[in-house]
């Protein structure tokens, strides 16, 4: 079927070319031989009377016309996909396809093992490359998103360029050694939090830290004596010391037994943590990435 003189099958290749900026990567994405994609690119160039992809350094860049086409192509393919899918959640069959995702230590502890298992079971042909993200690697989140497919991290850990997708919600609790002299009847007071030394995660945007905002409201300036690159090490650092740490509850309860710490109800009230996903906007309608986001949402 063709509209406007263009075979609709070419739209799939056009989207891949515009989003990947490479004939090689586009051919892997759509599961077609590279010569076939090169032939399709030649047809598209004749149709638009534009090169679409041009040499730039060691790679390629989109022409101004190609950049202007991208949003409408993505939206058109999204609508076509919705019209044809009727809720089909089967993974795209693209042998050799690689998706690169980065996870905060919170996501590593709670999601990574199950996510890798489910992706392998449902789509063994998709290779999932997982990296652990640190405060340093997300200081320039816009640049990061353009170099990777998906980021899963708490809001406040990074500042997404677009609208993030909420994956799950948690709340913060305190962890302390069971022998901490300030821990009475399994409780800590605001006075205790003010007096005790703290171990804390180092966030790239400290001004967005919801825990610090809660402590500020109670007039507490924590005496931080130890910092880590994430929340996961904190229960283990607190064990056997007089320090207290404030960490997400699901993570705290997952490791409390192994670390030998007590999970304590926070005296500052409910403070929410929002775990969210953001992705490369150039690949917003990539079927494999859309499928992966669905798998993540279904498993949380």
The per-residue DSSP string of 194-241 comes to: HHSEEEEE--S-GGG-HHHHHHHHTT---EEEEEESSSTTHHHHHTTS
CB 245 within 8 A of CB 197: no
Average pLDDT (76-98) is: 60
Least confident stretch, 3-7, 111-115, 234-238: 3-7
Query: 138: pLDDT confidence band, cut at 50, 70 and 90?
Result: low
The predicted pLDDT at position 166 comes to 81
Tell whether the model's pLDDT for residue 274 goes beyond 90.
no
The predicted pLDDT at position 167 comes to 82
CB 70 within 8 A of CB 63: no
Query: Which of the two residues, 36 and 208, has the higher pLDDT score?
Result: 36
Instruction: For the chain, give the mean pLDDT.
Output: 82
The whole-model pTM stands at 0.66
Query: 119: pLDDT confidence band, cut at 50, 70 and 90?
Result: confident
Tell whether the model's pLDDT for residue 33 goes beyond 50.
yes
Name the strand (E) or helix (H) holding 54. Answer: strand 53-56
The predicted pLDDT at position 86 comes to 42
The predicted pLDDT at position 87 comes to 46
The predicted pLDDT at position 266 comes to 95
- Is the alpha carbon torsion for 3, 86, 30, 33 positive or negative? negative
Query: What angle separates helix 9-20 from helix 34-48, to the nearest 10 degrees?
Result: 100
- The count of other CB atoms within 10 Å of the CB of residue 154 is 24
Residue 277: phi, psi to the nearest 5?
-115, 140
Pairing mode, strands 150-154 and 98-103: parallel
Average pLDDT (70-83) is: 70
* Residue 45, token pair as written in the block: 């160039």
Domains and CATH numbers, the chain: 2-85 (1.10.10.10), 98-167+275-299 (3.40.190.10), 169-272 (3.40.190.10)
């Amino acid at each position: 079927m063709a509209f406007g003189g263009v075979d609709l099958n070419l739209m799939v290749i056009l989207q891949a070319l515009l989003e990947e900026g490479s004939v090689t990567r586009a051919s892997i994405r759509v599961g077609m031989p590279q010569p076939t994609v090169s032939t399709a690119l030649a047809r598209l160039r004749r149709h638009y009377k534009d090169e679409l992809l041009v040499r730039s350094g060691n790679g390629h860049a989109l022409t101004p016309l190609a950049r202007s086409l991208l949003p409408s192509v993505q939206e058109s393919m999204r609508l076509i996909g919705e019209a044809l899918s009727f809720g089909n959640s089967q993974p795209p069959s693209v042998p050799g396809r690689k998706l690169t995702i980065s996870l905060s230590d919170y996501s590593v502890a709670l999601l990574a093992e199950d996510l890798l298992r489910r992706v392998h079971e449902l789509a063994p042909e998709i290779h999932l490359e997982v990296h652990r993200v640190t405060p340093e690697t997300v200081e320039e989140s816009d640049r990061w998103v353009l170099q990777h497919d998906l980021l899963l991290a708490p809001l406040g850990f990074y500042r997404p360029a677009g609208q993030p997708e909420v994956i799950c919600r948690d709340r913060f609790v305190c962890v302390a050694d069971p022998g901490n002299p300030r821990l009475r009847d399994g409780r800590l007071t605001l006075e205790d939090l003010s007096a005790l030394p703290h171990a804390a995660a180092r966030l790239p945007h400290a001004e967005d830290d919801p825990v610090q905002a809660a402590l500020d409201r109670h007039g507490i300036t924590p005496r931080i004596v130890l910092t880590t690159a994430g929340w996961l090490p904190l229960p283990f650092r607190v064990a056997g010391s007089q320090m207290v740490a404030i960490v997400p509850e699901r993570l705290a309860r997952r490791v409390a037994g192994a670390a030998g710490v007590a999970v304590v109800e926070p005296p500052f009230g409910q403070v929410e943590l929002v775990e969210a996903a953001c992705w490369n906007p150039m690949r917003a309608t990539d079927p494999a990435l859309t499928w992966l986001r669905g798998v993540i949402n279904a498993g949380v």
